[in-house]
Structure 1
């Protein structure tokens, strides 16, 4: 069984037992959270789509870790003007383990 969830403005296809990295969620490590924004639930050939959400569906997940992605380097330059600017960005994320999908 799999589900398409929405969290952090993005959509993810998940199945029970999978690990995935999502936008940072303010909760403790080891906490069990419930994701209620389920866009679709399916098993084999049968798929149930929501309009826009599937009513009564939820996904239970455990928070495994909080961390930060690799640095993205940003470099701006204007030719012949002696202008150069260096900066970087590291996005924080939360790693989840999907425990159960309730349709």
Structure 2
């Protein structure tokens, strides 16, 4: 069984007992979260597509921690002008364990 869920504007394909690195959310470690924006549910070949959401479907999970992603390097250059700019950042993510998919 899997579901496609909208978490903070991004879509994730999730299954039970899976880890998802979602954009940073409010909440402490160990707190439970519930996602009700379920776009699709597949239960052993029975696919149910929402229009736009599947009614009554929920995905529950638990926050395991807040982490930072890999460094993203932003490099700007204009040729023959002597202009080079190097910058970068690390995006914040929340590690979520998907516990249950209910239909």
Q: Displacement of 1:20 after TM fit?
A: 1.0
Question: Which structure has greater strand proportion?
Answer: 2
Matched pairs, number:
103
CA RMSD of aligned residues (A): 0.8
Map of 1:78-97 to 2, 5 A cutoff? 78-97=78-97
In 1: Cα distance, 2:13 partner to 2:79 partner: 44
Correspondence for 2:29: 29
CA shift at 1:8, angstroms? 2.1
Supply the distance in 1 between the matched residues of 2:3 and 2:16 (Cα, whole angstroms): 9
Deviation at 1:2, TM superposition (A): 1.1
- Unaligned 5+ segments in structure 2 are none
Structure 1 unaligned segments of length 5 or more: list them: none
| TM, length-normalised to structure 1 | 0.95
**Residue 28 of structure 2 corresponds to residue 41 of structure 1:** no
List per-residue Cα deviations over 1:39-93 (Å, max 9, x = no partner). Answer: 0111111011100000111011000110110111111111221111110021110
Is 1:5 matched up with 2:1? no
Q: TM-score, normalised on structure 2?
A: 0.95
Q: Which runs of 4+ in 1 moved over 4 A?
A: none
